Chain A
Amino acid sequence: MDETLQHIKTPVVAARAIGTRVLRSEDPRLLSGRGVFLADTVLPGELHAAFVRSPVAHARITRIDVSAALALPGVFLAWTGTDVLPHCEGLVGEFAVPGCNATTMPLLATGEVVYVGEPVAVVVAESRYAAEDAAELIEWDFEELPVVVSADAALAGGDVANSQLPDNIGITGGATYGDVELAFEQADQVVSGRYYTGRVSAAPMETRGVIASYEWASGQLRVWSGSQMPHFVRYCLTAYLGFPEQCVEVIAPDTGGGFGQKAHVYVEEMLLPLLSRELDRPVKWVEDRRENLMAGTHAHEQYVDIAYALDDTGRITAVRTDALGDGGAYHAPPWSMAVEPWCAVVMTPTGIYDVPAAEYSYTAVATNKTPIGAYRGVGYMAGTLARECLADDAARALGMSPFDFRRSNVVREFPWTNPQNIVYDEGSWLETIDALEEMVDYTAFLQRQAELRLQGRYLGLGLSCFVESSGESTATSKEHGLGDVYHDTATVRMDPNGTATVTVGLTAQGQGLATTMGQMAADTLGIRVEDITVRMATSTSQAYGSGTVGSRGAVIASGAVARAGGIIREKVRAVAAHMLEASENDIELADGTASVAGAPDAKVAIADVAAAIYFDMTAWPEGFDPTLEATLAYDTARPMFSNGGHAMIVELDPDTGFVRFEKVFSVEDCGTVINPNVVEGQIRGGVVQGIGAAVFEELSYDASGQLLSTTFLDYGLPTMDVAPPFEIRHLETPSAHTASGVKGMGESGLIAAPAAVLNAVNDALTPFGAVLRELPLTPEKVFSAMNGSSAGEAS
């Protein structure tokens, strides 16, 4: 990226708050039930929407009659696809690389429904009760069409899942770097496997929801949505519906988790504003759990075929990966079906290993299922599952320990250029392996495992190391062949008493970003973290943000905060220098005081400097501009990568096939740690989500495309009683390109944990001679593997 760009440079700041376990400023509000979430927001005169959703996977609508619904008392409106079509044809989903076939997702289905849960009609009534009563009265007839419910069936062709994609191909492509063919020809050994991720939901604790309030007199539209990308939603309200952007405000209230599911633009977000304008009343829709499991984006489902060419010393000489994603019925905008298979093979195609040649291909096919969307660690989870589980297969084939196999292949020298010619500036990849081996005390574990096996108890140790691009940025996008531009702004304002208010363009869904941004601002300004109030992007009327996605929050927002704060910092230093009759270059800001380097007695409180800037012109140097507020943007100069790994000990119950999680060991290197509490919380949450995806969670469809897991009874989220204790170690290899050297880590737990689980279970299964490669590891699969039956391998 162009080094002359100003918005990629951040000032260096002294660490005071950074690195300390500052308690989360959000918690008094959130933990005492004082958060204000979307459903808590009640507007005067609000009406309630309910959707009629398709009960069948694929059909042609032949008749819809809303008259009975409209006749019900308390019902204000009932719309079908034909009512919406004049306003908007639908949301276009595509990925800007060759080989992508776009889809248009109608706001309400017209003609064809393509998955169970697709909205067919909407009713607005005085209460959600009345709206649901009316929704039941909408009569519609349909002719069922053939369904495509598996990726293999979609690829085989014939039946078409969505008439917009006659070949069922959403996207396909690939690339080769180095002489892969020769490496496989000359390999002493080839190991390969096909790994299946399963289909899961991000299942945020708070479901989706939208409130829209249009004021005809002013032309102002306000939309509440727990979106991870409120500015993008606002942009779409203009681009798709024509609301003037300056008249649109998108408000993101307290939000109970997003994990990528809320990093999309949804048809409901476009429909509600139209309904509010039509009815001249605020309209609210709070998604229920059944809707969320059906119509919130699904995640992951892909098959990854992977092969390593190995030489006789155990070195990987080439890797081939082919990812086949079951994309569901549409591209979910803006990320599209590419979000899984493209990302799985294109991003970090060799993992942490120094593999000279790599070949990859990716295909996402359409099926009559809910569209696949983003979920924490998009694609990386599947890619890491394949690379890290095949690493264990290779280690077993070579008779090496999983630690030794990884050590013999890991990248040791930085900067390192990968086969795609992408430069990785720094990392602690080898150190991660060493740290994990020491933390688990591998020799002692092997002894305990052997002893317990004699008693009929089956322990397994699984290892998974990862590298992830951190901080979704313009540079990361460009290096991987895309043209997306990402930058965010922050506004920092210092008040007359020396305290500060910081506004950032990112929304928060519970991560503690307000706390960490406060720490960054405190050190930039040299004041106490308690003297800073941080406002996350609760409204698009404040700072600009490209979205809380891709492990970018801490990186991008902290960069913008440091840049904007840096402007204020320089002003404070200039006035302090004038007040202390010292050189500006000698002024240091820390602990609420401006002092002169080398002269400890020459100091002035930053509060006094701020007061002087507001009230005492005699303190100003000549030509001083007293604006104590700055808004600046930030983007990272180069692609950046965080790394780490997890080791997990599990025990299998031979009577039930249940997997018990004994302990997790996590190593994380996200550069400079802003707040260890926050980082450790992210690790714990992400790893437990990974345990869920690996063992407990599964969105099941039957052969007719009916979704069978529509409640938490049938969709098994992990709970505290199955969450293991953690031992976490931080390695710190700072980036040279970010404020204080921070790197992103929000996704790493889920990226790498499922591979660790699968490896641990397969290690435990060693005495039974069975290897599993398909998630989730249901009791039945594990039981079958322990009892010599192949039933568990069926997919």
Chain B
Amino acid sequence: MKPPTFSYVAPGSVEEVTRLLASDPDAKIISGGQSLMPLLAMRLAGPSMLVDLKAVNGLARIGIGETEITIGARVTHHDIESSAELASALPLLPFVARFIAHPQIRSRGTLGGSVAHSDPSAEWPTVLLAMDATIDVVGPRGGRSIAVDDFFTGPFTSSMAFDEVLVAVRVPRADRRWAFQEAARKAGDYGLAIVAVTAGVDADGRLHGCRVAVGACVGTTTRLRDVEDAIDGAVPGETLAARAEAVARDSVQPISDIHGSSEYRRRLLGNLVRRAVTDLTNGQ
């Protein structure tokens, strides 16, 4: 389990990073290395060059704005988990960080790395999809912002170009309720299914603007729009949760592997959606 030969550079600016990426289609960005290093060690990936982000300044900041929160690409899961500002401004993020892998991995792994890697089993893609985040990337042609709905295009693939680098994730600071459910057999395991829900609540208690995202049991992190439609405009409660469960079951074709069949995961996902809709109470 030793990586094959590669060259290594740690440039000091985003511009230099994108120039290097553009110069070599087999180059790969490394940040926390918590997904890439195992792939290298098992020789499942063989990039020609690793471009390390560690010397690029300004990517490790958490900015709490009036309308949105900006999290730099190199902010670690541990930074998010332990951030007092986030705990008050957007507690869903620190709440979810605790579900990611183990403490050692959380102290090195980064938000940007997880999003760019686009692993459908990772927590951040599902949660950011439910939070209507925006992903800021920079490439040789300049910067652009990608709505999260347009970001995850397949298993381990995103709408980022090979020569673009993810610099920040922006999450709106809206007054919304949220719920997060992950069925993992042990702390730190990948989930068999992950569900994240956010929704606004009217003065009369009705949900609106619901976003229901699912990960781990599907090939691509995705929204369950049928479930969103089913709960939008309704008052949360047991009846609504049961309806959401039934709709969720019919709205996906889950993956099948040694950890569970598609049919099991379909039922499991339904149950997690029910639990999530039941406790749309910001984790209380």
Shortest CB distance A267–B (Å): 20
| Cβ B264 vs Cβ A290 within 8 A | no
Q: Contacts A129-B5, A714-B258, A780-B260 given; 5 further ones with Cβ under 8 A?
A: A128-B2, A290-B42, A655-B268, A711-B42, A719-B187
| Cβ A716 vs Cβ B43 within 8 A | no
Beyond A132-B43, A698-B258, whether A721 also contacts B187 by CB under 8 A is yes
- Cα distance A656–B187 when bound, in Å? 15
- Cα distance A349–B2 when bound, in Å? 48
Can you give 25 contacting A-B residue pairs, CB < 8 Å? A129-B5, A132-B2, A132-B43, A133-B4, A136-B43, A290-B42, A655-B268, A655-B275, A658-B185, A696-B185, A698-B258, A700-B258, A711-B42, A713-B190, A714-B258, A719-B188, A778-B259, A779-B260, A780-B260, A780-B261, A783-B268, A787-B267, A791-B261, A791-B263, A791-B264
User: Which B positions have Cβ atoms within 8 angstroms of A?
Assistant: 1-5, 38, 42-43, 183, 185-190, 192, 258-261, 263-264, 267-268, 271-272, 274-275
- Cα distance A657–B275 when bound, in Å? 15
Top 3 A-B pairs, shortest CB-CB distance: A655-B271, A288-B1, A780-B264
Flag A96-112 by CB within 8 Å of B: 1 or 0 each: 00000000000000000
Beyond A779-B260, A783-B267, whether A658 also contacts B4 by CB under 8 A is no
Beyond A713-B190, A719-B186, A721-B186, whether A784 also contacts B264 by CB under 8 A is yes
Shortest CB distance A33–B (Å): 15
Candidates B186, B271, B274; contact of A716 at CB < 8 Å: B186
- Cα distance A713–B44 when bound, in Å? 15
Candidate in A289, A290, A700, A719 with the most chain B CB atoms within 10 angstroms: A719
Shortest CB distance B105–A (Å): 12
| Cβ B2 vs Cβ A129 within 8 A | yes
Name B181's closest neighbour in chain A (CB-CB).
A655
| Cβ B186 vs Cβ A718 within 8 A | yes
| Cβ A655 vs Cβ B263 within 8 A | no
Chain A residues in 8 Å Cβ range of B189: 716
Name A781's closest neighbour in chain B (CB-CB).
B264
Candidates B4, B183, B258, B264; contact of A708 at CB < 8 Å: B258
Name A128's closest neighbour in chain B (CB-CB).
B2
- Cα distance A784–B264 when bound, in Å? 8
Chain A residues in 8 Å Cβ range of B43: 132, 136
- Cα distance A370–B118 when bound, in Å? 34
Chain A residues in 8 Å Cβ range of B2: 127-129, 132
- Cα distance A714–B260 when bound, in Å? 12
A709 within 8 A of B: yes
Beyond A133-B4, A696-B186, A783-B267, whether A655 also contacts B258 by CB under 8 A is no
Chain B residues in 8 Å Cβ range of A658: 183, 185
Shortest CB distance A531–B (Å): 41
Shortest CB distance B215–A (Å): 16
- Cα distance A696–B188 when bound, in Å? 14
Chain B residues in 8 Å Cβ range of A132: 1-2, 4, 43
| Cβ A778 vs Cβ B1 within 8 A | no
| Cβ B186 vs Cβ A779 within 8 A | no
Chain B residues in 8 Å Cβ range of A718: 186
Chain A residues in 8 Å Cβ range of B192: 656, 779
- Cα distance A587–B162 when bound, in Å? 85
Chain B residues in 8 Å Cβ range of A289: 1
- Cα distance A290–B3 when bound, in Å? 14
| Cβ A656 vs Cβ B268 within 8 A | yes
Chain A residues in 8 Å Cβ range of B264: 657, 779-780, 783-784, 791
- Cα distance A784–B185 when bound, in Å? 17
Chain A residues in 8 Å Cβ range of B188: 719
Name B189's closest neighbour in chain A (CB-CB).
A716
| Cβ A656 vs Cβ B263 within 8 A | no
- Cα distance A787–B263 when bound, in Å? 12
Beyond A129-B2, A132-B2, A288-B1, whether A656 also contacts B261 by CB under 8 A is no
Chain B residues in 8 Å Cβ range of A288: 1
- Cα distance A133–B43 when bound, in Å? 10
Shortest CB distance B265–A (Å): 9
Candidate in A657, A700, A709 with the most chain B CB atoms within 10 angstroms: A657
Name A721's closest neighbour in chain B (CB-CB).
B187
A722 within 8 A of B: yes
- Cα distance A783–B267 when bound, in Å? 9
| Cβ B272 vs Cβ A655 within 8 A | yes
Name B193's closest neighbour in chain A (CB-CB).
A656
- Cα distance A784–B263 when bound, in Å? 10
| Cβ B185 vs Cβ A716 within 8 A | yes
Chain A residues in 8 Å Cβ range of B258: 698, 700, 708-709, 714
Chain A residues in 8 Å Cβ range of B267: 783, 787
| Cβ B260 vs Cβ A778 within 8 A | yes
Chain B residues in 8 Å Cβ range of A655: 183, 268, 271-272, 274-275
Candidate in B43, B259, B261, B272 with the most chain A CB atoms within 10 angstroms: B259
- Cα distance A48–B260 when bound, in Å? 39
Shortest CB distance B216–A (Å): 13
Flag A715-726 by CB within 8 Å of B: 1 or 0 each: 010110110000
Chain B residues in 8 Å Cβ range of A791: 261, 263-264
Name A718's closest neighbour in chain B (CB-CB).
B186
Interface positions, chain A 722-746, Cβ under 8 Å from B, are 722
- Cα distance A714–B189 when bound, in Å? 9
Chain A residues in 8 Å Cβ range of B275: 655
Shortest CB distance B124–A (Å): 18
Shortest CB distance A136–B (Å): 7
Shortest CB distance A34–B (Å): 21
- Cα distance A709–B261 when bound, in Å? 16
- Cα distance A47–B274 when bound, in Å? 58
| Cβ A722 vs Cβ B186 within 8 A | yes
| Cβ A779 vs Cβ B1 within 8 A | no
- Cα distance A656–B259 when bound, in Å? 12
Chain B residues in 8 Å Cβ range of A133: 4-5
Flag A764-790 by CB within 8 Å of B: 1 or 0 each: 000000000000001110011001000
